[in-house]
């Protein structure tokens, strides 16, 4: 069973994403409400998550900053990260893609197809 | 829809019911921002908070099927992020439209 870590400061987004991935794909979900807690959760998760779904705009440490910190940790650097953003401007999309993340997903997402979108971005065949 | 989709849709409807007060609170904050602009007392703090709130609404309403709500919230976010003082009347109109899009029976 795949394990996904969701990092988002908004509780309703975490809840809907978790519900969606558990119910439609049967994946195991771990959540964190900040970048700092997300790094801790990823490190404490045994085994480490198969992927991380992370919000871009978060207070204190945003998604890109959290991603950069994760890349400095050998245990976490190999985990695919998908950024989740409500920004739709092309300049933002290009900036996020240039970070080296595995992909960008957009809010609002469709809860019925979120797992499919993740599989497509990560080239998972399940 | 298969069984998993039905279950997801049902749970999603429950989550929406639980989050209605959160959405109402966010709309009330946008009302406050529109009133503050009309009275000439909009602070930068309230403007930023309102812009951030519109951003959150834009990113969440569509998850529950309120795509028009997301569209209007995005327009509010752009209005609040523009240069100069936002148009109070326009903001008030958009917030009213947003409320009708999300709570049509209210």
Helix, coil or strand: residue A24: helix
Entry pTM: 0.90
Q: Which chain A residues are Cβ-neighbours of B22 within 8 angstroms?
A: 12
Q: Is the dihedral of CA A124, A86, A91, B93 positive or negative?
A: positive
Q: Show the domain range for B84.
A: 21-102
Complete domains list, chain A, with CATH: 3-122 (3.40.50.2300)
Number of domains present in the structure of chain B: 1
| Cβ contact, residue pair A108, B58, below 8 Å | yes
What pLDDT, on a 0 to 100 scale, did the predictor assign at position A82?
A: 96
- The structure tokens listed for A84 are 């989740």
As a whole number of angstroms, the distance between CA A71 and CA B35 comes to: 45
Measure CB to CB from residue B63 to each of A16, A57, A85 and give the nearest one: A16
Residue B34 lies in a domain: yes
Residue B49 lies in a domain: yes
Residues A109-113: what's their mean pLDDT?
94
- The structure tokens listed for A107 are 């809010």
List, in order, residues 6 or more apart from B20 with CB less than 8 Å away.
none
Q: Which residue has the tokens 């509780």?
A: A11
Question: Average pLDDT, whole number, for chain A?
Answer: 92
As a whole number of angstroms, the distance between CA B62 and CA A28 comes to: 24
What pLDDT, on a 0 to 100 scale, did the predictor assign at position A56?
A: 93
B-chain residue closest to A84, CA distance: B59
Task: ipTM value, please give it.
Answer: 0.83
Binding-face residues of A in 89-108 toward B, CB within 8 A: 107-108
Q: What is the CA angle A15-A59-A50, rounded to 5?
A: 50
Residue B50 lies in a domain: yes
What pLDDT, on a 0 to 100 scale, did the predictor assign at position A65?
A: 96
As a whole number of angstroms, the distance between CA B64 and CA B80 comes to: 24
Q: How far is B4 from chain A (nearest CA, A)?
A: 5
As a whole number of angstroms, the distance between CA B33 and CA B91 comes to: 9
Question: pLDDT tens, A32-48?
Answer: 999 999 999 999 988 89
What pLDDT, on a 0 to 100 scale, did the predictor assign at position B83?
A: 83
Question: pLDDT tens, B59-94?
Answer: 999 999 999 999 999 999 999 998 888 999 999 999
pLDDT band at B1 (very low <50, low <70, confident <90, very high): low
Measured CA to CA in angstroms, residue A46 lies from A4, A6, A40, A102 at distances of 12, 16, 12, 22
Residue B4 lies in a domain: no
What pLDDT, on a 0 to 100 scale, did the predictor assign at position B11?
A: 87
């Amino acid at each position: 069973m795949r394990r996904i870590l969701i990092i988002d400061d908004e509780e309703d987004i975490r809840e809907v994403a978790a519900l969606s991935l558990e119910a439609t794909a049967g994946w195991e979900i771990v959540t964190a409400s900040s970048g700092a807690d997300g790094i801790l959760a990823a490190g404490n998760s045994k085994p480490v998550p198969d992927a991380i779904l992370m919000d871009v705009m978060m207070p204190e440490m945003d998604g890109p900053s959290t991603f950069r910190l994760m890349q400095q940790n050998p245990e976490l650097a190999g985990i695919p990260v998908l950024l989740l953003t409500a920004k739709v401007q092309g300049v933002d999309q290009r900036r996020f893609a240039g970070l080296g993340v595995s992909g960008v997903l957009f809010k609002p997402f469709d809860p019925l197809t979120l797992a499919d979108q993740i599989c497509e971005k990560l080239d998972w065949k399940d | 829809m298969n069984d998993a989709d039905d279950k997801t849709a049902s749970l999603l409807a429950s989550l929406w019911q639980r989050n209605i007060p959160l959405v109402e609170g966010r709309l009330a904050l946008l009302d406050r921002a529109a009133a503050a602009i009309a009275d000439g007392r909009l602070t930068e703090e309230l403007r930023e908070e309102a812009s951030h709130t519109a951003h959150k609404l834009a990113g969440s309403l569509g998850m529950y099927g309120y795509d028009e709500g997301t569209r209007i919230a995005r327009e509010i976010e752009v209005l609040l992020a523009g240069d100069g003082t936002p148009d109070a009347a326009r903001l008030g109109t958009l917030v009213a439209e947003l409320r009708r899009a999300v709570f049509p029976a209210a």
